[in-house]
Chain A
């Protein structure tokens, strides 16, 4: 009696575990599950948790990776609208969003097969978009003319539309240009151009440097001469002020202008006939008038 009670409890627990395993299944955060009833997909479960199912052969559960898969597209060469050859590669992040639709499209729900399909779609979308744009839409210093983000969006839209019409059950989460390049022989040409541009810069730098230096120097000289001219003007004004001040004292000379003029002439005479001058006189000049009015004397030796 007691023995059987323990046995029953243990058996019940075992049966419960067995039934649980048979009738339930778990879905992880990273997964999406499709439940089929007699082979027909009936439910899609994309939230993590414990779910109920009828045992095989009534219902079956298929699980898929719901995480974002990333891949890089082939680095391929395509002509742009202005027939420049441009190499480009995009990176794509995609995931299964509609497992019910995805499941029957690809054998065994293979992510690899789906990715191969997507790669083809991306490749042709990229070729179409690159062919619609000029190279200046890819690289441009003017933000208004640069269409980098628009190009990425265009490729993504085309891919998305194609995925939707074919109902693959997958969605592109993000898509961006991952690499750009030019054909090898073009890079050589670019190097030549860069080289000649650089040499132009070098001579320009030399020329510009001299020019700017000259300009700075001549500016300085102009400023200096302005300063000196101003100072000279100021000096002249100061001189004028001095004259004006001196004039005040000239009133005194007006009391006897003849004497004043005499004194000035005298001073001038003293100043002008300084050293290294030759003076030629005759007897009309004092004090040589003394010679003229000499009392008769032997003055023959001249």
Chain B
């Protein structure tokens, strides 16, 4: 707009002076160049505010030193972003991966992930040198190895990033400071928790409880120290000292033998009890049927007796009946009896004496060659 206005004003002298006209012409074109340069400069300044964030990092914009955004919003993810030019805005980059993970160092013997992957265990000396191998002391003053692996994520970047120095100068921002703080917390948690658990509880009897207690302490310390991280998981490993591996293995096999004995006894209990129950059932059943038989027998005897009493043949001569029955019985007895010895009375009418040598069991004939 002003451009046109200018043009209008300079029109009259144009006619008069060719020299000044040329000057005006030159000035006008140089003005245009300056204007374009200015616009370009402004564009450049704003374009300079464009920045990219890579996949393994996050960025935070500091406006006059103050982080922009609240909580997780503060962290700018991978992609294209824009900020005001320095010194108004400052972009800081933080190397970050999705999952943060640290392992405690204060309770394990010296090893490396490579050695562990290969299943290699450093040879055990007779004692533990505290400068090399770490361990925990349990409540009953035993020594075992314990380690905790804590996975966490950044919950409050304001604390996690700006409150913990991660080595280096204060121009550098990263998560090593807070990772170190989490590791210290994990170390403290295993030492402090082992200090109130007995060795067998940690190794076998109450390992779940121990692990929960470690996690509990990690969480409460992370809160108390305002680390700005949320604990996702805390897993605990424990092993007896390498020096005592054989002894501990022997204990566990003795415990297995112990359990086996008890299991066997319990199996036997079941057998004994079911046998007893079967025997009891058969006893009562037998008694039941014996009773029924007995009652029935007595009843039938009674009925027979009643019939006999009522029979006119018997009533007519009971003596004869008795004699007949006796004779019948004697016949049966004498048929059945193996040896029958008839011993007549002595002459004087007194019974004669007979001496017998009796064997309870019939003597087995020994097939002796001499006899």
Contact = CB atoms under 8 A, between A and B. Distances in A.
A185 B136 CA distance: 16
Nearest to A242: B291
Contact of A195 (B244, B276, B332): B244
Contacts of B191: 177-180
A242 B89 CA distance: 110
Given A241-B291, A274-B336, A232 B143 contact: no
Interface stretch (A53-61, A100-108, A134-142): A134-142
Contact of B254 (A65, A206, A212, A273): A206
B280 A230 contact: yes
A228 B283 contact: yes
A275 interface: yes
A188 interface: yes
Contact of A182 (B137, B298, B338): B137
Interface residues of A, number: 119
B251 interface: yes
B338 A93 contact: no
A40 to B, nearest CB: 24
Nearest to A72: B184
Contacts of A146: 139, 195-196
Contacts of B247: 194-195, 198-199
A6 B34 contact: yes
Interface string A248-286: 011011011001101100100110011111111111101
Contacts of A91: 184, 187-188
B134 A179 contact: yes
Contacts of B244: 191, 194-195, 198
A145 to B, nearest CB: 10
A250 B298 contact: yes
Given A216-B266, A238-B291, A208 B258 contact: yes
A148 B196 contact: yes
B33 interface: no
Contacts of B254: 201-202, 205-206
Given A68-B164, A281-B343, A198 B251 contact: yes
B326 A228 contact: no
Interface in B298-342: 298-299, 301-303, 305-306, 308-309, 318, 322, 325-327, 329-330, 332-334, 336-342
Nearest to A219: B269
A291 interface: yes
Interface string B8-49: 000000000000000000010001001000000000000000
B192 A283 contact: no
A282 B298 contact: no
A190 B221 CA distance: 31
Interface stretch (B61-69, B93-101, B112-120, B230-238): B61-69
Given A29-B158, A242-B290, A224 B276 contact: yes
A246 B305 CA distance: 14
A265 B187 CA distance: 98
B155 interface: no
Contacts of A148: 192, 195-196
B80 to A, nearest CB: 25
Contacts of A250: 298, 302
Contact of A235 (B65, B170, B255, B287): B287
A217 B309 contact: no
B137 A180 contact: yes
B250 to A, nearest CB: 6
B338 A275 contact: yes
A231 B280 contact: yes
Contact of B279 (A87, A184, A231, A278): A231
A205 B62 contact: no
Contacts of B64: 26, 48-50
Contacts of B305: 252-253, 256, 259-260, 263
A57 to B, nearest CB: 23
A52 interface: no
Given A194-B143, A199-B247, A48 B66 contact: yes
B129 to A, nearest CB: 5
Interface of A: 2-3, 6, 21, 26-31, 48-50, 63, 65, 67-70, 72, 75, 87, 91, 93, 111, 135, 138-141, 143, 146, 148-149, 173-174, 176-185, 187-188, 190-191, 194-195, 197-199, 201-202, 205-206, 208-210, 212-214, 216-217, 219-221, 223-225, 227-228, 230-232, 234-236, 238-239, 241-243, 245-246, 249-250, 252-253, 255-256, 259-260, 262-263, 266, 269-270, 273-284, 286-288, 291-292, 302
* 3 pairs of A and B residues whose beta carbons are closest in the complex: A242-B291, A235-B287, A231-B280
17 contacts: A29-B66, A67-B162, A68-B181, A75-B130, A149-B192, A184-B129, A191-B243, A197-B142, A209-B257, A212-B261, A216-B266, A252-B302, A255-B306, A259-B305, A275-B336, A278-B338, A302-B342
